[in-house]
Amino acid sequence: MGFLVLTHVVHKKKGNDFYGYAPYVREMNLWFKYVDRVVVVAPLCNEAPSNIDLAYNQENLDFVKIPEIAFISVKSAIRALFKLPIIFFSIFQACRKASHIHLRCPGNIGLLGCLVQMLFPSKIKTAKYAGNWDPNSKQPLSYRIQKRILSNTFLTKRMKVLVYGKWKNQSKNIKAFFTATYTENEIEPIKKRNYSEKLNFIFTGSLVEGKRPLLAIKVIEQLKDMGKDVTLELFGDGLLKQQLQTYIIANKLQEHVKIHGNKPKSEIKEVLKRAHFLMLASKSEGWPKAIAEAMFFGTIPIATKISCVPYMLDEGKRGILIDPNVEHIVNNILNCLLGADLLIEMSELAAQWSQEYTLDLFESEIKKLLI
């Protein structure tokens, strides 16, 4: 099978290997187990792979380099318009030769892929929509266009569209899906936490505005000022790192808040086994892996009511649903701390649910889509 991947993920090359963002590549390597030949159409930069990148493990892989495009400013949009014919032609040629077309959405390349795939109605296709599929959510126009095309069975034929969460009134080609990080062999008895003493909070993810890491720090600051023994460890990197560090120093929070940067999966795993709470007040998510990973080891997520998060947390039975403001979050945490038994049950329910979604199950579901 000639398996084609169309993605906006920026890749890097080292020797004969192509690298990309590790969670994405780790998933694609599972898809590649069941195909003979792979073609990846994506942007390629000249940077060396970093510790958050991973190499594809498919030997029979061809890479088609296309320009990276963005529409975040007038200047970048004008540049993108000149690049579009090249990208469109590359995608068309790759689709023409492929047996199976796989789109990674949402994104600029995903949007072009949505348009080009309509020219190949007889080819088998899949699309992974890794963003928020909530029909009522406010999203950029390009995202809304992709969702419209993908869910229109007249424009999009012979395609399974994998989306996060279960939504009402969906077309027959929409399939509720999930993602996973850990295997069945990594399931362990859940450690019962003590919620009456020191509380350890963690944040895992990019240090960017959309993840609201500063909000997490301010919550810890207020809990500390109220006399609670609390710590927050942030794992990840991003544009806000220096700003966050400045805030921590200015407000004398060094003993309570630490930024660790990007760390290996194995190290994050050990932190999750002992943490009490994960805080992720994101503005937007698809299937937030940070939440599912925390739940896997009994860490209780504190998260905003976006995308499929209420479904993951069973409307608050498996975690704490919040509005994105400090007072609301602090009050919710304090109310939950009044019932230690409830928190222990919440931790156990979170683990039971998350441990159903293992890499083993994920791979078996992928296999069904390809064989």
Domain match, 79 and 217 both? no
Which residues of the chain carry a pLDDT beneath 70?
none
Q: What are residue 53's DSSP bridge partners?
A: 21
- 190 Cβ contact partners less than 8 Å away, ≥ 6 residues apart: 297, 298, 347, 348, 351
Domain count along the chain: 2
Sequence-ordered strand ranges (E) for the chain: 2-6, 12-14, 17-21, 37-43, 53-55, 61-66, 100-105, 124-129, 159-164, 174-177, 199-204, 230-235, 257-261, 277-280, 300-304, 320-322
Domain match, 322 and 339 both? yes
Domain match, 250 and 364 both? no
148-170 pLDDT per residue, tens: 999 999 999 999 999 998 899 99
Domain match, 225 and 287 both? yes
Q: How far is CA 352 from CA 110, 229, 274, 298, 355, in A?
A: 34, 28, 17, 9, 5
Place of tokens 């701390």: 337
Q: How far apart are CA 204 and CA 145, in angstroms?
A: 30
Domain match, 129 and 60 both? yes
pLDDT value, residue 72: 81
Domain match, 103 and 170 both? yes
Q: Say how many residues make up the chain.
A: 371
The structure's pTM equals 0.88
Token representation of residue 367: 């296999």
pLDDT value, residue 212: 97
What single-letter DSSP state applies at residue 38? Answer: E
Domain match, 110 and 177 both? yes
Domain match, 177 and 204 both? no
The CATH number of whichever domain residue 64 belongs to comes to 3.40.50.2000
Direct distance between the N- and C-terminal alpha carbons of the chain, in angstroms, rounded to an integer:
10
Among the listed residues 123, 116, 258, the one whose alpha carbon sits nearest the alpha carbon of residue 200: 258
Domain match, 94 and 130 both? yes
Domain match, 221 and 308 both? yes
Among the listed residues 79, 76, 87, 131, the one whose alpha carbon sits nearest the alpha carbon of residue 105: 131
Domain match, 103 and 195 both? no
Domain match, 72 and 178 both? yes
Range of the structural domain that residue 203 is part of:
188-354
Token representation of residue 51: 């510790």
Q: Parallel, antiparallel, or unpaired for β 159-164 and 12-14?
A: unpaired
